[in-house]
Amino acid sequence: MDNKVLKQYRRDLHQIPELAFDLYLTHEYIKNELKKMGFEIEVAAKTGIIAHKKGLSDESIAFRSDMDALPVDEKTNVDFASKHPHKMHACGHDGHMTMLLGFASYVSRLKNLKKTVVFIFQPAEEGPGGAKVIIEEGIFEKYHITHIFGIHLYPGLDEGLYGLVDGPMLAQNGEFNLVVQGKSAHAAQPHLGNDAILAAFSLVTMYHSIISRNIDPLDSAVITIGTLNGGEARNIIANEVKISGTIRSFNTDMYTLLKKRMRAIDHGIEIAYDVKVTNDIMDYYPPVMNDHRLFEMLRSSLEVSEYQLLKPMMFAEDFAFYQKKVPGLFVMLGTKNLEKEFTHPLHSCYFNFDEVVLSKGVDLYKNILNLMKIV
């Protein structure tokens, strides 16, 4: 596909960012472009889209793009900036959709495919997890999907390079909302109250000790406290403190250990400070685990100058739900360009990239199609 078309796709989509499952304009845009290519459309996960090119076999391989944006006010000052206040494609999903549309256009012209090729345009990657809904709706069984592939733009990697990881790539993640309930009293009579702030400070310190004292130093895990709010006035013993944060690990057993130790600390704080601790821990995405055979298949097909082996990263991605169903491979595509000042991180209100890189994503999908012996 012509780079000008890819550029237009990206800029059109960038201007209409939408959140979670409410992707009505994005849905219509993708649907119309796919219909121009001759695809029949199936709606999934409310505003997601499934398209396919029938092959000689009932079995299929799938390629996935996320669709949703982030609740961010864009500050790039580009002429194709978001038209929707407090919504922005700050994680590259506009580019992901563009690459999959470009690849779909290529596949639409192929004949005698060995297997069916399925295109999954998925909502709600940023939350609460559209991939899980796609699976629950039976899409994998309906199309007999045996493998799945995806690409994510990444400003931590030089423009045009493929970032490859064998095995664990992205973390399992969860979030927690915690309340420490104490008893208020006059600041001059602290013995008549139960100080929720003092208890909360001890709890936070002990949570951080989990990483340094309960996790093998050769393994990786994260507990981050993002917010801590409490107290009513400078002369009142705090009655309540609210804490929120995230936990992440590449290993499910380690993730379970994090939660177990947090629960134990919660109970200990209750006893030590005579307070009540309520902790709602919400499990979100499993770890992204790249299939070794697919990793080696792709790596061996590339020149050394085309890719970089990356270390696992503590980001989370609901592509992991697909990999719990079938073998899958998730690849990073570099967008960092110092000369053009495309260096801002994902989720930044300044995130941007040069559309020239998108053809590299389409090329990678074409390569995978050949490696999987579909053409």
Residue numbers annotated as active site: 66, 126
Cα pseudo-dihedral 343, 344, 345, 350, rounded to 10: -150
Q: Residue 42 and residue 51: Cα distance in Å, rounded?
A: 6
C-beta of residue 65 within 8 angstroms of C-beta of residue 124: no
Q: Tell me the β-bridge partners of 126.
A: none
For residue 136, count other CB atoms closer than 10 A to its CB.
Answer: 11
Compute and round to an integer the Cα radius of gyration of the chain.
24
Cis geometry, peptide bond prior to residue 128 (ω within 30 degrees of 0)? yes
